[in-house]
Structure 1
């Protein structure tokens, strides 16, 4: 899989592709274990975004149990968990105007966020967070433990030797024109070689797809199910902002058969800190109507009276979409 261009090379014990929550958590835990064992370990994380967190789109309700296992003193370390969930509401949107609120007694435990669903511990709620800010904080912890992080470097391909063993990755070439030709500023990517390489690219990562194909990793496995998720971040007036309010729902517009829809998915609306609201729609990539536009369905959904009252008078400040496993 690796090309034959002569490249500079660096060697590490572990190379991690992707500075998302999983990649950074893995880097932190590896260094913690090495430090506990008083062993030297070199760990490198490469991130395609211009900075850590730049490609993190999740508008997240976060359960801190795993974070507490990784950093029991995360609060003292200043982890950006500032908005505990105070109230949960779950709705079924029946049509463009009507909504039915589901009683808490009928809501599955996994949907309760004002307290850990796993333990029914109402004294320890989940948090409405910026996943991007959490990743930036994790990167600070990782660097403090000795991890090297290279933002702005996309992994281009895996290095696989003649024996079929993954030996690291090659970062993307720079100075390449749109037609693939080399410009005057061309610079070949580097080889980052490692004893172990972790691929934390997220859903449908391009190297991951190649490795799955090369090593038949999906043989005798159920096909992976995917969705597309949309998210917007809104600044809203103070008088309609309720930090810690979490809304989830399903139904309209995805089930609007008059509009050509008969699809599955769900929506969310979270009130975070700094007078901001996160709103989004997740659409299963199993819809049969080829004319369905998930983006347009998201825009329609925001006009439902239930959601509109949370956004009216506000201003959209960020938008993103990505595949979800």
Structure 2
């Protein structure tokens, strides 16, 4: 199937790119064919974010979005709070201590999944073809090595590789340009980065894992538009760990709450899922959740590297957009607006190239536009925040980070850019740390992983090839278990990995692939990089409502 542009991923970057492609082509009196492949069962099924969204890019893309029924307009942020937590108390950080861009003025809180569903409707009105349930599984190349498109995965393949009665072969989607907007640690994006050595001049990307729940809370505790961020407890009790929590009062009496653990942590006994559950027991958080009911759960890795970790954005025949490249502004905890703008910039470059009949070349105009954009300026201001906190710890590091943000904000550019270290290299041996004793879930405020996965509506066809592949099946038991007590048992927020038979002296590494919520943490944090996440059959995975 030939198109002018094929986009992998119907997230905010991919949808914005598709809309902008159609807009610019129409402005020039031309018509372009554009399709989006989305591995989720529907647009938004795999989208998870807090989310507090800066509408800057949306204002550029669709200026009248508020009048068009966009769900993001429902809840503007009206109250912004930042808490430093101790085990039993909190200190509120005054606004005047932080730069104005941290105050959330003019932002909105709501479901990023629902925003993507609305953007998809806008794209389809312009003629964009969107194919949910089709996972892009393979990159296609011309004989000269240029990217010519992607192929979707075969459907109906049994675990042993045989074809089931409903077998359907994948499709080849050919395009003049292919945009990869798969999100963080995209399966094909990481191949593109490696194949074209796009990261040779950038720092290693570093990550966090965000674990989120949606709660229906008591009306007397709900304040629409209130946004709360937290630092400190409980991660400050574990050496070498950083992160924080969020709690956003959204529409219909709901709060979105969650916890981000930076994947630079060093203790292999740390469980991001358990830290999130423990965080909810803080008196200030528990007070908000009194009488509330949990209705949804999910998890997703986020890219924390910032400006210095963005790889080269283009290659012959395509571009990286959104979180596939890593445009998150970490201290603001916002990446939707930057992701959208990246897709728009790539789209504008592609239209010019296609109409000039420069097919499959490098879209040099895209990185040039990025260099001159407000996205580059915004990310430059905060580029040293993550490495400062990691190097000097939460209190001193946060104070130094705040000083650098203020200095950059008023135009005093810091003469240095700090480096990152890959997350999979940060774990200490199990004999160098103390195990962490987590309390048992109470089923009211705190929960276990399997009951959580159940309300994420995660489903995979069980009789299919396991999409969590091992380069060496012996490493988990022969190396990771004695060295780190196999940390995959704890860093996975969905209970995918477990060691069985250890008490009997016959340990085995079990992969419960049907539980996978596609967060990509295993692909990132595995200390030997032995786990390789590949796409399962299209339509599998979580089905997030209102997340």
Shared fold (TM-score, shorter chain, > 0.5):
yes
CA distance in 2, matches of 1:65, 1:213: 32
Corresponding residue for residue 84 of structure 1: 76
Corresponding residue for residue 252 of structure 2: 274
Which of 204, 214, 217 pairs up with 2:195?
214
Structure 1 segments unaligned to the other structure (5+ residues): 1-9, 116-124
1:175–1:182 contact (8 Å) kept in structure 2? yes
Please state how far the C-alpha of 1:161 moved relative to its aligned partner: 1.9
CA distance in 1, matches of 2:291, 2:141: 54
Matched, 1:60 2:51: yes
CA distance in 1, matches of 2:267, 2:194: 29
Corresponding residue for residue 265 of structure 1: 243
CA distance in 1, matches of 2:10, 2:225: 27
Corresponding residue for residue 314 of structure 1: 292
Q: How does 1:14-25 map to 2 (within 5 A)?
A: 14-25=5-16
Which of 125, 132, 136 pairs up with 1:155?
136
Corresponding residue for residue 271 of structure 2: 293
CA distance in 2, matches of 1:215, 1:183: 36
CA distance in 2, matches of 1:103, 1:214: 47
Please state how far the C-alpha of 1:107 moved relative to its aligned partner: 2.8
Which of 19, 33, 37 pairs up with 1:46?
37
Please state how far the C-alpha of 1:267 moved relative to its aligned partner: 1.0
Please state how far the C-alpha of 1:36 moved relative to its aligned partner: 1.1
TM-score by length of 2: 0.54
Matched, 1:133 2:114: yes
Corresponding residue for residue 110 of structure 1: 101
Greater displacement, 186-195 / 100-109: 100-109
Greater displacement, 207-216 / 291-300: 207-216
Please state how far the C-alpha of 1:163 moved relative to its aligned partner: 0.8
Please state how far the C-alpha of 1:153 moved relative to its aligned partner: 0.5
CA distance in 2, matches of 1:162, 1:314: 59
CA distance in 2, matches of 1:244, 1:178: 47
Corresponding residue for residue 245 of structure 1: 226
Superposition RMSD on alpha carbons, in Å? 1.0
Corresponding residue for residue 168 of structure 1: 149
1:94–1:251 contact (8 Å) kept in structure 2? yes
Which of 152, 160, 163 pairs up with 1:179?
160
SS in 2 for 1:168: strand
Which of 180, 203, 227 pairs up with 2:208?
227
Which of 287, 293, 301 pairs up with 1:323?
301
Of Structure 1 and Structure 2, the greater strand share is in 1
SS in 2 for 1:230: strand
TM-score by length of 1: 0.91
Matched, 1:256 2:234: no
Please state how far the C-alpha of 1:220 moved relative to its aligned partner: 2.7
1:157–1:169 contact (8 Å) kept in structure 2? yes
Please state how far the C-alpha of 1:293 moved relative to its aligned partner: 0.4
Greater displacement, 180-189 / 141-150: 180-189
Of Structure 1 and Structure 2, the greater helix share is in 2
CA distance in 2, matches of 1:304, 1:79: 35
